[in-house]
Amino acid sequence: MLWGVFLHFLSVFIPFVCISFLIYLLLSHFKSGAWRKQADKWQHLLVVTAHPDDECMFFSPSIFDFIRRQKHVSVLCLSDGTYMQLADTRKKELYDSCRILGIQENNVQLVGDSCFPDDPSRIWNEELVARIILKHLLIIKPDVVLTFDQYGISGHNNHCSIYYGCRKLLQDGRAPSGINFYSLETTNILRKYVSFLDIPLSTVLTSKCYISTISAAIRAVRAMCAHSTQITWYRIAYLMFSRYMLINTLVDVLPGINMPR
Protein backbone atom coordinates (compact mmCIF):
# COMPACT_ATOMS: atom_id res chain seq x y z
CA MET A 1 0.00 0.00 0.00
CA LEU A 2 2.71 2.47 1.10
CA TRP A 3 4.90 1.37 -1.80
CA GLY A 4 2.02 2.10 -4.20
CA VAL A 5 1.57 5.61 -2.78
CA PHE A 6 5.31 6.20 -3.09
CA LEU A 7 5.32 5.07 -6.74
CA HIS A 8 2.33 7.28 -7.49
CA PHE A 9 4.14 10.23 -5.87
CA LEU A 10 7.23 9.58 -8.01
CA SER A 11 5.11 9.35 -11.18
CA VAL A 12 3.91 12.91 -10.52
CA PHE A 13 7.05 14.39 -8.95
CA ILE A 14 9.64 13.31 -11.54
CA PRO A 15 7.77 14.86 -14.53
CA PHE A 16 7.23 18.01 -12.42
CA VAL A 17 10.97 18.27 -11.73
CA CYS A 18 11.84 17.71 -15.40
CA ILE A 19 9.31 20.26 -16.67
CA SER A 20 10.39 22.83 -14.05
CA PHE A 21 14.02 22.37 -15.07
CA LEU A 22 13.17 22.83 -18.74
CA ILE A 23 11.20 26.00 -17.93
CA TYR A 24 14.15 27.25 -15.90
CA LEU A 25 16.59 26.62 -18.77
CA LEU A 26 14.32 28.42 -21.23
CA LEU A 27 13.65 31.40 -18.98
CA SER A 28 17.31 31.81 -18.03
CA HIS A 29 18.19 32.34 -21.70
CA PHE A 30 15.13 34.06 -23.17
CA LYS A 31 13.79 37.22 -21.58
CA SER A 32 10.80 39.27 -22.70
CA GLY A 33 7.99 41.51 -21.47
CA ALA A 34 7.36 45.24 -20.97
CA TRP A 35 9.18 45.46 -17.64
CA ARG A 36 12.14 43.61 -19.09
CA LYS A 37 12.36 46.04 -22.03
CA GLN A 38 12.51 48.96 -19.60
CA ALA A 39 14.96 47.16 -17.32
CA ASP A 40 17.32 46.47 -20.21
CA LYS A 41 17.77 50.23 -20.64
CA TRP A 42 19.17 50.68 -17.14
CA GLN A 43 22.89 51.33 -17.16
CA HIS A 44 23.82 51.23 -13.49
CA LEU A 45 22.59 49.00 -10.66
CA LEU A 46 23.31 49.81 -7.03
CA VAL A 47 22.86 46.87 -4.64
CA VAL A 48 22.56 47.94 -1.00
CA THR A 49 23.43 45.12 1.39
CA ALA A 50 23.81 44.74 5.13
CA HIS A 51 26.74 42.31 5.35
CA PRO A 52 29.65 41.03 3.29
CA ASP A 53 28.25 37.82 1.65
CA ASP A 54 24.70 39.22 1.08
CA GLU A 55 25.74 40.18 -2.46
CA CYS A 56 26.32 36.58 -3.55
CA MET A 57 23.83 34.80 -1.29
CA PHE A 58 20.84 36.90 -2.34
CA PHE A 59 21.46 39.29 -5.24
CA SER A 60 23.65 37.40 -7.72
CA PRO A 61 20.92 36.82 -10.40
CA SER A 62 20.33 40.59 -10.63
CA ILE A 63 24.05 41.40 -10.54
CA PHE A 64 24.86 38.89 -13.27
CA ASP A 65 22.14 40.24 -15.54
CA PHE A 66 23.79 43.68 -15.50
CA ILE A 67 27.32 42.26 -15.76
CA ARG A 68 26.32 40.06 -18.72
CA ARG A 69 25.02 43.15 -20.54
CA GLN A 70 28.28 44.99 -19.66
CA LYS A 71 26.46 47.53 -17.48
CA HIS A 72 27.67 49.08 -14.24
CA VAL A 73 27.12 47.38 -10.88
CA SER A 74 27.97 48.98 -7.54
CA VAL A 75 27.66 47.51 -4.07
CA LEU A 76 27.08 49.50 -0.89
CA CYS A 77 27.51 47.30 2.19
CA LEU A 78 26.54 49.03 5.43
CA SER A 79 28.08 46.75 8.05
CA ASP A 80 31.59 45.34 8.13
CA GLY A 81 30.21 41.96 9.21
CA THR A 82 32.11 41.88 12.49
CA TYR A 83 29.53 39.98 14.51
CA MET A 84 32.23 37.49 15.44
CA GLN A 85 34.98 38.05 12.88
CA LEU A 86 37.76 40.46 12.07
CA ALA A 87 36.75 43.47 10.00
CA ASP A 88 39.79 43.38 7.71
CA THR A 89 39.19 39.75 6.81
CA ARG A 90 35.53 40.32 5.99
CA LYS A 91 36.39 43.39 3.94
CA LYS A 92 38.88 41.42 1.87
CA GLU A 93 36.34 38.62 1.44
CA LEU A 94 33.79 41.15 0.14
CA TYR A 95 36.21 42.52 -2.44
CA ASP A 96 37.23 39.00 -3.53
CA SER A 97 33.60 37.92 -3.84
CA CYS A 98 32.68 41.01 -5.86
CA ARG A 99 35.65 40.48 -8.16
CA ILE A 100 34.39 36.96 -8.90
CA LEU A 101 30.92 38.36 -9.56
CA GLY A 102 32.45 40.81 -12.03
CA ILE A 103 32.29 43.99 -9.91
CA GLN A 104 35.36 46.19 -9.77
CA GLU A 105 36.81 47.02 -6.36
CA ASN A 106 36.31 50.76 -6.79
CA ASN A 107 32.56 50.11 -7.21
CA VAL A 108 32.35 48.41 -3.82
CA GLN A 109 31.84 50.56 -0.75
CA LEU A 110 31.90 49.09 2.74
CA VAL A 111 30.65 51.60 5.34
CA GLY A 112 31.43 49.68 8.53
CA ASP A 113 30.19 52.47 10.80
CA SER A 114 29.41 51.72 14.46
CA CYS A 115 25.85 52.95 13.73
CA PHE A 116 25.40 49.81 11.65
CA PRO A 117 26.56 46.89 13.82
CA ASP A 118 26.33 43.38 12.41
CA ASP A 119 23.84 42.05 14.93
CA PRO A 120 20.58 40.23 14.15
CA SER A 121 18.98 41.71 17.27
CA ARG A 122 19.72 45.33 16.28
CA ILE A 123 17.37 47.48 14.19
CA TRP A 124 19.38 50.25 12.54
CA ASN A 125 18.11 53.82 12.69
CA GLU A 126 16.18 54.33 9.44
CA GLU A 127 17.12 58.00 9.16
CA LEU A 128 20.84 57.14 9.37
CA VAL A 129 20.35 54.40 6.78
CA ALA A 130 18.46 56.83 4.53
CA ARG A 131 21.21 59.45 4.86
CA ILE A 132 24.09 57.13 3.98
CA ILE A 133 22.20 55.74 0.97
CA LEU A 134 21.26 59.23 -0.22
CA LYS A 135 24.88 60.37 0.08
CA HIS A 136 25.91 57.43 -2.08
CA LEU A 137 23.15 58.00 -4.63
CA LEU A 138 24.21 61.59 -5.17
CA ILE A 139 27.76 60.47 -5.90
CA ILE A 140 27.26 57.45 -8.14
CA LYS A 141 23.85 58.29 -9.72
CA PRO A 142 22.50 54.79 -10.46
CA ASP A 143 19.35 54.07 -12.51
CA VAL A 144 18.13 51.43 -10.13
CA VAL A 145 18.60 50.57 -6.46
CA LEU A 146 18.02 47.03 -5.23
CA THR A 147 17.90 45.99 -1.60
CA PHE A 148 15.93 43.78 0.81
CA ASP A 149 12.21 43.99 1.46
CA GLN A 150 10.63 44.50 4.89
CA TYR A 151 11.07 40.78 5.73
CA GLY A 152 14.76 40.76 4.80
CA ILE A 153 14.73 37.24 3.20
CA SER A 154 15.92 35.69 6.45
CA GLY A 155 14.15 38.06 8.84
CA HIS A 156 17.52 39.56 9.89
CA ASN A 157 16.86 42.97 11.47
CA ASN A 158 19.84 44.55 9.70
CA HIS A 159 18.41 43.51 6.30
CA CYS A 160 14.95 44.87 7.14
CA SER A 161 16.46 48.17 8.34
CA ILE A 162 17.80 48.95 4.86
CA TYR A 163 14.33 48.57 3.37
CA TYR A 164 12.91 51.05 5.89
CA GLY A 165 15.75 53.48 5.16
CA CYS A 166 15.02 53.36 1.41
CA ARG A 167 11.28 53.67 1.99
CA LYS A 168 11.88 56.74 4.17
CA LEU A 169 13.91 58.37 1.39
CA LEU A 170 11.02 57.85 -1.02
CA GLN A 171 8.25 58.83 1.41
CA ASP A 172 10.07 62.05 2.34
CA GLY A 173 10.61 62.88 -1.35
CA ARG A 174 14.37 63.08 -0.82
CA ALA A 175 15.38 60.41 -3.37
CA PRO A 176 16.90 61.92 -6.54
CA SER A 177 14.47 61.71 -9.45
CA GLY A 178 14.87 59.05 -12.12
CA ILE A 179 16.05 56.31 -9.76
CA ASN A 180 13.99 53.13 -9.49
CA PHE A 181 13.88 51.47 -6.06
CA TYR A 182 13.26 47.75 -5.85
CA SER A 183 13.22 45.20 -3.03
CA LEU A 184 14.12 41.57 -3.27
CA GLU A 185 10.94 39.65 -2.54
CA THR A 186 10.93 37.38 0.52
CA THR A 187 9.08 34.13 -0.15
CA ASN A 188 7.82 31.54 2.32
CA ILE A 189 10.30 28.94 3.55
CA LEU A 190 8.97 26.18 1.28
CA ARG A 191 9.48 28.25 -1.88
CA LYS A 192 12.80 29.53 -0.56
CA TYR A 193 14.43 26.09 -0.49
CA VAL A 194 13.16 24.37 -3.63
CA SER A 195 15.73 25.90 -5.99
CA PHE A 196 14.59 25.89 -9.65
CA LEU A 197 11.27 24.24 -8.75
CA ASP A 198 10.04 27.67 -7.63
CA ILE A 199 10.81 29.34 -10.96
CA PRO A 200 7.58 28.44 -12.84
CA LEU A 201 5.42 29.82 -10.01
CA SER A 202 7.61 32.91 -9.51
CA THR A 203 7.43 33.86 -13.17
CA VAL A 204 3.66 33.42 -13.22
CA LEU A 205 3.33 35.72 -10.21
CA THR A 206 5.60 38.51 -11.53
CA SER A 207 7.48 39.58 -14.64
CA LYS A 208 9.92 41.62 -12.55
CA CYS A 209 12.62 39.01 -12.19
CA TYR A 210 16.19 38.13 -13.00
CA ILE A 211 17.16 34.49 -13.58
CA SER A 212 20.72 33.17 -13.56
CA THR A 213 22.03 30.61 -16.01
CA ILE A 214 23.65 27.49 -14.57
CA SER A 215 27.15 28.85 -15.21
CA ALA A 216 26.26 32.12 -13.46
CA ALA A 217 24.90 30.21 -10.47
CA ILE A 218 28.16 28.25 -10.25
CA ARG A 219 30.05 31.55 -10.31
CA ALA A 220 27.88 32.82 -7.45
CA VAL A 221 28.84 29.72 -5.43
CA ARG A 222 32.50 30.51 -6.17
CA ALA A 223 31.92 34.05 -4.96
CA MET A 224 30.43 32.70 -1.74
CA CYS A 225 33.51 30.50 -1.29
CA ALA A 226 35.54 33.72 -1.13
CA HIS A 227 33.74 34.35 2.19
CA SER A 228 35.71 31.53 3.78
CA THR A 229 34.92 32.67 7.34
CA GLN A 230 31.22 32.18 6.59
CA ILE A 231 31.26 28.66 5.21
CA THR A 232 29.19 26.41 7.47
CA TRP A 233 27.09 23.30 6.76
CA TYR A 234 23.85 25.31 6.74
CA ARG A 235 25.27 27.86 4.27
CA ILE A 236 26.39 25.02 2.00
CA ALA A 237 22.82 23.65 2.18
CA TYR A 238 21.57 27.17 1.37
CA LEU A 239 23.79 27.37 -1.72
CA MET A 240 22.45 24.03 -2.91
CA PHE A 241 18.75 24.57 -2.34
CA SER A 242 17.97 28.29 -2.19
CA ARG A 243 15.96 29.80 -5.06
CA TYR A 244 17.87 33.08 -4.52
CA MET A 245 20.93 31.52 -6.14
CA LEU A 246 18.88 31.24 -9.36
CA ILE A 247 16.11 33.82 -9.31
CA ASN A 248 15.46 37.29 -7.92
CA THR A 249 11.86 38.50 -7.97
CA LEU A 250 11.52 42.20 -7.34
CA VAL A 251 8.83 44.35 -5.74
CA ASP A 252 8.59 48.13 -5.60
CA VAL A 253 9.97 49.62 -2.37
CA LEU A 254 7.07 52.09 -2.55
CA PRO A 255 4.24 50.96 -4.86
CA GLY A 256 3.72 53.21 -7.87
CA ILE A 257 7.02 55.06 -7.56
CA ASN A 258 9.00 53.19 -10.23
CA MET A 259 9.05 53.38 -14.04
CA PRO A 260 7.32 52.23 -16.13
CA ARG A 261 4.19 53.50 -14.42
Residues at the site binding Zn ion, with contacts judged by CB under 5 A: 50-51, 54
CA dihedral 187, 50, 110, 96 (to 10 degrees): -50
CB atoms within 10 A of CB 61: 24
**Cβ 47 vs Cβ 55: under 8 Å:** yes
By C-beta, is 51 or 167 nearer to Zn ion?
51
Closest contact distance (angstroms) between CB of 162 and Zn ion is 10
What is the DSSP code (8-state) at residue 108?
Answer: E
Task: Give me the half-sphere count of Cα atoms (radius 13 Å) on the Cβ side of residue 89.
Answer: 9
Of 164, 235, 248, the closest CA to residue 209 belongs to: 248
By C-beta, is 51 or 219 nearer to Zn ion?
51
By C-beta, is 66 or 244 nearer to Zn ion?
244
d(CA 169, CA 254) in angstroms, rounded, equals 10
Closest contact distance (angstroms) between CB of 152 and Zn ion is 8
By C-beta, is 143 or 185 nearer to Zn ion?
185
Of 167, 147, 138, 145, the closest CA to residue 44 belongs to: 145
CB atoms within 10 A of CB 140: 13
By C-beta, is 142 or 152 nearer to Zn ion?
152
Closest CB to Zn ion: residue number: 51
Closest contact distance (angstroms) between CB of 57 and Zn ion is 7
Phi, psi of 146 (to 5 degrees): -125, 130
Closest contact distance (angstroms) between CB of 102 and Zn ion is 21
By C-beta, is 54 or 126 nearer to Zn ion?
54
Closest contact distance (angstroms) between CB of 37 and Zn ion is 32
Closest contact distance (angstroms) between CB of 126 and Zn ion is 17
d(CA 98, CA 105) in angstroms, rounded, equals 7
